[in-house]
Structure 1
Amino acid sequence: MELFPPPAGRHLCVQADPDDFFPERVTAASTAYAKALCVRCPSQPECLQQALARREEYGVWGGLDEKERRSLRRKTRAAGTT
């Protein structure tokens, strides 16, 4: 069961190679293509929200890689927001 059902047909990532979203080493260069797709994707806000809710540990989701999502969660907790 998915936490939030994805909007059908709206995800640009389904047209891309999954390796672009799940690189072996996370660097600015290795995630650039995936993040560029996310910026143009109409599902980006929902995708990021879902990834944060599910605490996705790997890959680019909603335009952020795992390090960026961890940082965002820390900042959110520090600000007292859930």
Structure 2
Amino acid sequence: MSFDLGLPLSPEEELMWQERALCAQTDPEAFFPEKGGSTREAKRVCLTCDVRGECLDYALAHDERFGIWGGLSERERRKLKKRA
């Protein structure tokens, strides 16, 4: 059991979720398609991933500009940030 005490995480702790990410077990090229390429395969993997929320949080916090993170494309993440 873990408790969030509001303490800052070390860089290693911040990235621990990546070890459990389904994308780490699949073709990385699916998550970084060529411009105009399909994102469907990557988003399908994200739908069943246990760390989807952590992945999206990371992408938003680090202003990731490329690829599918947490099931969203860069354009979708931009829209999400604008609404926040």
Same fold (TM over 0.5): yes
CA contact (8 A) 1:31 1:60 kept: yes
Q: 2:67 maps to what in 1?
A: 59
Partners of 2:26 and 2:50 in 1: CA distance: 15
Alignment of 1:12-27 (within 5 A): 12-26=22-36
* 1:4 aligns with one of 14, 21, 30: 14
Aligned residues: 74
Q: 1:80 maps to what in 2?
A: none
Deviations 1:6-32 (A, max 9, x none): 2364110011111100001245xx101
CA contact (8 A) 2:18 2:24 kept: no
4+ residue runs over 6 A deviation: none
Higher alpha-carbon Rg:
2
CA contact (8 A) 2:43 2:71 kept: yes
Gaps of 5+ in 1: 77-82
TM-score by length of 1: 0.80
Identity %: 46
Q: Secondary structure of the residue that 2:20 maps to in structure 1? A: coil
Gaps of 5+ in 2: 1-10
